[in-house]
Amino acid sequence: MLSRREALRRLALLGFGAGAASALIAACSDKKAASPVSSTTAASSGSAAAVAPPPGSEHTLPTAPVNWAGPQGELEGAWSPADARSSSGEATAPKGAVLIVHENKGLNDWVRSVAGRFAGSGYSALAIDLLSPQGGTGSFSDPAAATAALGKIPAADLVANLKSGVDELARLAPEQKLAAVGFCMGGGLVWQLLAAGEPRLAAAVPFYGPTPENADFSGSKNVAVLGFYGALDDRVNATEPVAKAALEKAGMVHELVTEPDANHAFFNDTGERYHAAAAADAWQRVQDWFAKYLS
């Protein structure tokens, strides 16, 4: 059995609009069930119970597994090319390409859906599986075990694999500008990728990722950075001044946004801290940023 919210999320990934999805669920529900909550009302509340489809999901494209040779062995990922057909049947021309860096749960269905959403908005997306050397995220039946395994991987190895992911992204999307987007642990890794020097990126978007100490972004000074924080996320927010100082010292184009009333992981629509209003605002800001610096 699925919760109403999860059913709406999955229907959205199949291309159903909020109204059509609600009508379909109502038709399949017990006649005594409560009347459906308005998606408009729920979305405006910004609560975890919001039933509005996640931003960008109306044009989600499918992903396919890909493999390539990495520095410590074969790497796995999910690839969604923007030059496939959108859910409306119209051909989409790629405007750029994005490396998606997952949370500390690994490459799961939610991350694949994010890659598909970016592809649907015109940006081919490669979601890398940083657990590839450990057999891949799919080899862990317990998400907590996947998180623990990720925590044991040296940061240098993770960054090396991310650089390999940029290599593969450039191969899959030749002659296109490249970007990196990361969430939670992945957001922190985007900051580390910038600190390690990655001049091939045109843009980077770390979502609520902690900034490394003594960060030096001079090797990535041409990257336009859009960073997101949740106002209630005290732990990660404590590192925002470090990011700001390092970005300014490197002379980088940047904007750091704190979403009001939102907590850590506010963009993940499968989690308890999902904040619909903050997610929608962040999605639009990313689209505007990419239109300016990636397209």
User: What are the tens digits of pLDDT across the range 219-229?
Assistant: 999 999 999 99
Kindly state the percentage of the chain with pLDDT values over 90: 78
**Can you tell me the distance from the alpha carbon of 134 to that of 150, in angstroms, rounded to the nearest whole number?**
9
Percent of the chain with pLDDT over 70: 79
Say if 26 falls within a structural domain.
no
- What confidence tier does 184 reach under pLDDT thresholds 50, 70, 90? very high
Alpha carbons 163 and 200: distance in angstroms, whole number: 10
- pLDDT tens digits, residue range 3-13? 555 554 554 54
Query: Distance between CA 267 and CA 75 in Å, rounded?
Result: 26
Residue 52: its pLDDT value, please? 79
| Residue 16: predicted pLDDT | 46
Residue 11 lies in a domain: no
Q: Is residue 281 part of a domain?
A: yes
Count of helix runs (H) and strand runs (E) in the chain: 10, 8
Number of domains in the chain: 1
Angle between helices 185-196 and 155-172 (to 10 degrees): 80
Classify residue 45: in a domain, yes or no: no
For residue 69, being part of any structural domain is answered with yes
Strand residues in the chain grouped as ranges (E)? 64-70, 73-80, 96-101, 123-129, 178-183, 201-207, 224-230, 254-259
CA-nearest of 192, 127, 112 to 165 is 127
> Which amino acid is present at 289?
W
Eight-state DSSP code of residue 107: S
Residue span of the structural domain in which 177 resides: 64-294
What phi and psi values does residue 3 have, to the nearest 5 degrees?
-70, 160
Say which residue, 84 or 149, is predicted with more confidence.
149
Token couple for 37: 């909550």
CATH of the domain at 203: 3.40.50.1820
In a domain, 6, yes or no: no
Q: What is the pLDDT of residues 55-112, one digit of tens each?
A: 999 999 999 999 999 998 999 999 999 975 555 666 667 899 999 999 999 999 999 9
Quote the pLDDT of residue 122.
95
Rounded CA gap, 283 and 56, in Å? 8
Locate 204 and state its tokens: 């980077």
Q: Which two tokens stand for residue 10?
A: 């999955």
For residue 76, being part of any structural domain is answered with yes
- If you search the block for the tokens 């009001």, which residue do you land on? 260
Question: What is the number of residues in the chain?
Answer: 295
Residue 45 is predicted with a pLDDT of: 42
Domain annotation covers residue 57: no
Confidence check: pLDDT of 242 > 90: yes
